[in-house]
Chains A and B, each alone.
Chain A
Amino acid sequence: MNTRSPFPIVGLLIGALVLAAIAVGVIAVLRIDPSGEQGSGLSEAFDYDLQQYQKIDPALFHYKQTAAISTGMREPRAVAVGSDDRIFVAGDKLMRVFAPDGAKLKEIALESEPQCLTIGNAEHAFPGRTYVGMKDHVEVYDPSGSRIASWAGRGEKAVLTSLAAAENDVFAADAGAKIVWRFDTDGKLLGRIGQRDESRNVPGFVIPSPYFDVAVAPDGLLRAVNPGWHRIEAYTFDGHLETFWGRSGMGIAAFCGCCNPSNIAILPDGRVVTAEKGIPRVKVYSAAGQFESVVIGPETLAPNPSATVETRAEHKLRPVDVAADSRGRILVLDPAAASVRVFEHK
């Protein structure tokens, strides 16, 4: 029933109440911000912050960058050092060769996308020969750049991530099969290294993601990264595990995250260069595994400060590849900048 009340005060009260309710309602609705710009409102316990682990004491950097060679590639994947310290970069669907000072020497087109490569050094049976690892097979190129062989595919599960060449052997690290294949220079399979074997105390490789690196060290042993165990293992070519070193942890001397280091390189004196993903950093350890120095850290490797923890696959920092030349220079392939950064000891 509509009111025609004899008490005007009631009308005033009702009017005041209605106006107050309208005012409160309008204020409430204006305070709503559906855009999410204010943030989630969750407490600090829900923050994931790696900042504290990314800080590195500047005194630990014993290397300085002396050059940066632009690869000109959209997606460079691997870097290696060939004869005369020439720099080989594999990416996109090609291979580029640069002089030690960065001058572009050669470009070789490839049939499919290269994942890794290695070049036979002076002691190798065929010095200067380039072995390029595609996803599931190895291709061989002579020093002039023409393809001389394509070895048999390693199967559907194969994911070749690294190659290393000794005098008469070529090693292919297969992250999919979690094994290191041993070939001779013709591509014949000689054996496999790292298969789980309790009797020989070989634990087997724990490889959760396609980052699995091998390198031949000056002491004649093959160094293979066991990422899940956070250590670098030294094997004889017959597969006997000689020694290993490395531990997990966020500290600068340890390997961070769940599976690191992602790449390694061996300096001429046997020291090991390691590259990690997650907290992108390149470090140098002694041949026995003592931490020595940091080469480059997240501050200079990340394209922008917030890019280190991103959930989208294409925005994660692609792990860097490392190589070392005969002069002890460390080459770091920076995929974000698509360039090879050259570091020398201070």
Chain B
Amino acid sequence: MSKIVGGTRRVPSANCGTRRVPPTLSRIALFLVFVAMSAAVALAAERFPPPDFTDHKLPETSQPSPRGLLLDYLDLAALAVGLSLASYLAIVRRSRRGLFLLTIGSLLWLGFWRQGCICPIGSIQNVTLAVFDQSYRLPLVAAAFFALPILFALFFGRTFCAAVCPLGAVQELAALRPVNVPAWVDHALGLLAYVYLGLGVLFSATGTAFVICRYDPFVALFRRSGSVNMLIFGACFLVVGVFIGRPYCRYLCPYGAILGLVSKVSKWHVKIPPEECIQCRLCEDVCPYGAIREPTVALPATERRRGQKRLALLIGLFPLLVWLGFWLGTRLEAPLSRLNPTVRLADRIRQEQTGRVEGTIDASDAFRNTGRATENLYGEALALSATFHTAGGWFGAWVGLVIGVKLIHLSVRRRRTDYQPDRAACVSCGRCFWYCPGEQARQGWIQEITPLQRNV
């Protein structure tokens, strides 16, 4: 086996790319007969009979089934209900309390009871694997977990992040004393999420690993078991999360990156003031995630021209950035392919053969006992390395693209008259609602506000 995930080995000649011929009934019947015959022959040939007991029935090996599909569909229903509820609470009812309660509910159900697996963040990898490996059939639940929050985000914004995602929920509860993260740090770290997305896709497309699942900081907490290092990792995230709100969501979550992009074009989105913004800035102050953007000021003509020149330069540099990223990415072939067990094994076997390392490990012993020729293994490892060469290039191009787009995005002149949530970064948590005087007026907590004079 060349990889740990997926069904059969991905050898171009063997499994993928076969022509799809609609099977006729007779063909199916013939195949079944053949299977039955070979199974019977195999059973008869291999099994040496147990002793002939005078009066003893052989016990059967117990084969307990995995939990039924029903529970998976229940999870799916919970997700759909949660998404609908979150969208309703964020956009229609504008209820922070409701969102908070839903957050706790999601944490308890999707987090501690279902133990946070399978989740939409990990499902990116399942979908990627299904695209690149013909033998892996994507389960319906994984597909739905991937698609449903995206579909909701297309219409309602990042309401999944608000109150449904258990990882977001635990960070939401941990954000007790959020501090302001400087804008440049925020933008720079935000790129990490896209890089992580690229890595997650890279490793699942090559069938090497599900890194997003492997380094999920909170799943050990949800399971209440796991390696000590993972528990420490999760605890550190929570400690950081006390001060920097939602660190995983903002700077690492690959699914958050996707949802952010989709949310930019959503039909509806969380709005802070129900009517007019009076520029009091209370919302910007309260947002723990720095997701509220201030109104823009008009720039003098010289500044505008400089800005335009910069924008033009960045657009011109963009293809260069992508190409450079591709080239640098191909250089990453060695470190990236090390994650692949076949490549690592081939490395180890070669080291042992050339005497560069003493002794053997279980994996090399096991390989030698298969009697398989080392040339065979080396060939397979080389082929995989070549895959990583191209995949690394694409990954590098993606990072270049992301950096380029980010720079262009920062240089495009925006025009905002009000304080607005950033459509990509706002997770629809609804904390700003309570602080907005316009909302307070709507709720009837204060009397009608008089519009303040605005700066033109």
Contacts and interface: CB of A to CB of B under 8 A. Distances in A.
A and B touch in the complex (CB under 8 A): yes
Interface of A: 1-4, 11, 14, 17-18, 21-22, 24-25, 28-29, 31-32, 34-37, 39, 156-157, 159, 175-176, 178, 206, 208-210, 304, 306-307, 310, 312, 314-315
A165 B18 CA distance: 56
Interface in B196-237: 214-215, 217, 227, 229-230, 232-233, 236-237
B369 A306 contact: yes
Interface stretch (B114-122, B270-278, B358-366, B408-416): B358-366
B369 A28 contact: no
Nearest to A313: B46
27 contacts: A1-B285, A2-B288, A2-B290, A3-B177, A3-B179, A11-B179, A14-B177, A18-B239, A21-B239, A22-B236, A22-B240, A24-B236, A25-B236, A25-B237, A28-B229, A28-B232, A29-B229, A32-B229, A39-B362, A178-B51, A210-B48, A304-B368, A304-B369, A307-B368, A312-B369, A314-B371, A315-B369
A61 to B, nearest CB: 27
Contacts of A24: 232, 236
Contacts of A29: 215, 229-230, 233
B214 A2 contact: no
B233 A25 contact: yes
Interface residues of B, number: 39
B294 to A, nearest CB: 14
B236 A21 contact: yes
B180 A3 contact: yes
A14 B285 contact: no
A28 B285 contact: no
A270 to B, nearest CB: 32
Interface of B: 44, 48-49, 51-52, 177-180, 214-215, 217, 227, 229-230, 232-233, 236-237, 239-240, 243-244, 285-288, 290, 341, 344, 360-363, 365, 368-371
Given A21-B240, A35-B344, 8 more contacts: A2-B288, A2-B290, A11-B179, A25-B232, A29-B215, A37-B363, A176-B49, A307-B369
B48 A176 contact: yes
A284 to B, nearest CB: 29
Given A25-B232, A25-B233, A29-B215, A18 B227 contact: no
Contacts of A306: 360, 365, 368-369
Contacts of A175: 48
Contacts of A304: 368-369
Contact of B229 (A17, A31, A156, A178): A31
Contact of A1 (B178, B217, B360, B371): B178
B180 A34 contact: no
B243 A18 contact: yes
A312 B229 CA distance: 33
